[in-house]
């Protein structure tokens, strides 16, 4: 078998076995077109990957509009005939066309995502962001019904506070309710405090798998942003410079540079390997705009950092 079969792991309390790097579909239909998206997807699966993340809102900034990422993935699955090899995750709740997590919205969102993806079951369906206007019971009941009907395999949460997630997990134990099996938080080598302070203990206590997004800090942890570098051509460049161009950010890059050189690998691979080694983290999410870029990310799946290397990176970002 190609790839890294030893990097397949069970997702929490489920029957899903996933690769240690989840491919983000947020760029499909936005910064790369369908042809380039197919090339990235082919390269990911060809290297042993099986875990693809998207959302009903992805593509909204591109010409195809919200849902275009799902449509591209759906057309790729149909063309390749590989549905049974994949674990497909998508989200509901933040599309401008279908916001919130009411019972009706969750069902409409799942049905629309299934149609765009061209599949009969979503393996992992996330609440994209918490909806404070809708009772948690209503959302969890809606997910529970979809599970009972076989339209989704499992429900999960993204962008929940520890307090709300804890409450949702308690409610999820009741009959007819879905119990969240994973959390998708904003977490990486630089953005640590919010997750590590409150959410890590909660995930550990409940056995939730952490599938963090922005694992490369919107590209900063790839090393392409430097104080003396030319302007990076990216829609995220201005925000990255404002947020991470500081003494702490460059100290992290220095540590990443040194460790990457020792392993003869990419800076991005080291950043993702550090993240994957953190308590409760199962598979970081990262997106790529070309097969070449993807190969640098996939290297993280076979990279094991020493205790000293992980501590060095943690100290630099602490």
Catalogue the active-site residues.
Answer: 58
Instruction: Please give the Cα distance from 178 to 175 (Å, whole number).
Output: 8
Instruction: Compute the distance between CA of residue 165 and CA of residue 159 in angstroms, rounded to an integer.
Output: 9
The residues pairing with 19 across neighbouring beta strands, listed in sequence order, are 8
Distance in angstroms (rounded) separating the CA atoms of residues 198 and 280: 13
CA distance 184 to 209: 9
Contacts of 279 (CB under 8 A, 6+ apart): 200, 204
Q: Which helix (H) or strand (E) holds 313?
A: helix 307-317
What is the distance between the alpha carbons of residues 101 and 91, in angstroms, rounded to a whole number? Answer: 11
Residue 164 is encoded by which pair of tokens?
Answer: 């709300």
d(CA 41, CA 32): 12
Is there a contact between 168 and 222 (Cβ–Cβ < 8 Å)? no
């Amino acid at each position: 078998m190609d790839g890294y079969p030893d990097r397949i792991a069970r997702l929490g309390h489920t029957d899903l076995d996933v690769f240690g790097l989840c491919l983000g579909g947020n760029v499909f239909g936005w910064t790369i077109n369908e042809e380039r998206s197919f090339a990235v997807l082919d390269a990911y699966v060809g290297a042993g990957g099986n875990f693809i993340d998207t959302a009903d809102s992805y593509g909204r900034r591109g010409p195809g509009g919200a849902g275009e990422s799902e449509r591209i993935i759906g057309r790729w699955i149909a063309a390749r005939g590989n549905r049974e090899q994949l674990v497909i995750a998508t989200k509901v709740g933040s599309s401008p066309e279908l916001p919130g997590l009411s019972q009706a919205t969750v069902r409409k969102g799942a049905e629309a995502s299934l149609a765009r993806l061209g599949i009969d079951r979503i393996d992992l369906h996330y609440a994209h962001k918490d909806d404070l206007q809708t009772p948690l019971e209503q959302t969890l009941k809606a997910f529970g019904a979809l599970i009972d009907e076989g339209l989704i395999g499992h429900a999960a949460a993204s962008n929940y506070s520890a307090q709300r997630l804890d409450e949702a997990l308690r409610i999820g134990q009741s009959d007819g309710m879905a119990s969240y099996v994973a959390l998708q938080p904003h977490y990486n080598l630089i953005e640590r405090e919010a997750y590590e302070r409150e959410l890590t203990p909660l995930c550990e206590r409940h056995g939730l798998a952490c599938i963090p997004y922005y694992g490369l800090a919107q590209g900063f942890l790839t090393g392409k942003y430097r104080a003396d570098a030319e302007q990076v051509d990216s829609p995220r460049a201005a925000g990255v410079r404002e947020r991470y161009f500081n003494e702490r950010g460059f100290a992290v890059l220095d540590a990443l540079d040194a460790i990457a050189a020792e392993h003869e690998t990419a800076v991005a691979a080291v950043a993702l390997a550090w993240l994957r080694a953190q308590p409760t983290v199962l598979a970081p999410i990262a997106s790529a705009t070309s097969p070449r870029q993807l190969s640098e990310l996939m290297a993280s799946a076979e990279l094991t950092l020493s205790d000293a290397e992980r501590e060095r990176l943690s100290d630099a970002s602490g």
